[in-house]
Amino acid sequence: MIKTIIKILKFKKLIISILSFYAKLHPNQIILRDGIKYAVDLSKLIDVEIFLGGWEKSTIKFLKQNLKYGDSVIEVGANIGAHSLLISKLIGEKGHLIAIEPTEYALKKLKFNIELNKNISNITVVDKIISDTQYKGNDTFNSDWSTNSLQAPHQIEFYSSTIDRLVEDHDLQKVDMLKVDVDGYDFRVLKGARKTIEKFRPIIFVELCEYILNEKGNSIFDIFSYLNRFGYKCFSESDNREIKVDEVIAFVGLDTSINGIFKII
């Protein structure tokens, strides 16, 4: 998500300035994209991208190419449902999506977007912070970006859970994809999914952002090292080319990110 926000702010200022004028006249709309209804607020960055045809188009392409009818997916960091609703459509009525979103703003909008699409019955929404252990804590999370780049941090007191616990609680018989985009907690989420990874060997989609991981005491190296133990290799989201950890670190530096696709080949 960080990568997309940076790119939008650098290269789409003109479009956003035009839309900001339009947004003053028609800020809140119900739109149809790819056969899916969304409630959008054109003062918000993610909403603007949905309005323009889709949030993180390379991710949309990846999901369309890698999900199939009947798949079981866990999405950690569902936000307002920009990808959740597409996942739901792709996996169909025989599939199951657990969409995890803990922030009040995004959670409320996620639920509203699901309700807009009356035919959706395969999404379970979970209001939890996901980490590597179960504990009581508090932290600040960003789930709301305005088109002027201002963030709206949300302070949350929480009891965390883990992916392994959720799989057990929901009696999941398979997990075909684990999608993680939680701006810093990504490695902790994967650590708390050890049993799930060992048992189901899902495709793992995870944001690789060094400076955000560093804020939580982790690194992209930790993610690669951890998943390599299970036999995973990392591939580019855009062209399915295998990428090594040093290449990723050199590319992202301390100011951007990429999405990594980890698969067992």
Q: What is the pLDDT of residue 187?
A: 98
- Is 62 within 8 Å of 261 (Cβ atoms)? yes
Q: What is the pLDDT of residue 11?
A: 53
Mean pLDDT for 181-186 is: 93
Q: What is the pLDDT of residue 143?
A: 78
- pLDDT(10) > 70: no
- pLDDT(144) > 80: no
Averaged pLDDT of the chain: 91
- pLDDT(65) > 60: yes
Cα→Cα distances 143→88, 120, 140, 216, 238, Å: 21, 23, 10, 17, 25
CA 76 to chain centre: 6
Q: How far is the first Cα of the chain from the last one, in angstroms, to the nearest whole number?
A: 26
User: pLDDT digits over 71-107, tens only?
Assistant: 999 999 999 999 999 999 999 999 999 999 999 999 9
Q: Which CATH number fits domain 55-264: 3.40.50.300, 3.40.50.150, 1.10.8.620, 3.30.1360.170?
A: 3.40.50.150
- Is 117 within 8 Å of 39 (Cβ atoms)? no
- pLDDT(226) > 80: yes
User: pLDDT digits over 105-117, tens only?
Assistant: 999 999 999 999 9
Q: What is the pLDDT of residue 145?
A: 74
User: pLDDT digits over 193-207, tens only?
Assistant: 999 999 999 999 999
Mean pLDDT for 22-46 is: 87
Predicted structure pTM score = 0.91
Mean pLDDT for 64-76 is: 97
Q: What is the pLDDT of residue 3?
A: 52
Q: Angle at the Cα of 260 (from 72 to 152), degrees rounded to 5?
A: 85
Total H helices, total E strands in the chain: 12, 11
Mean pLDDT for 56-79 is: 96
- Is 143 within 8 Å of 106 (Cβ atoms)? yes
Mean pLDDT for 28-54 is: 92
Mean pLDDT for 127-149 is: 85
- pLDDT(120) > 80: yes
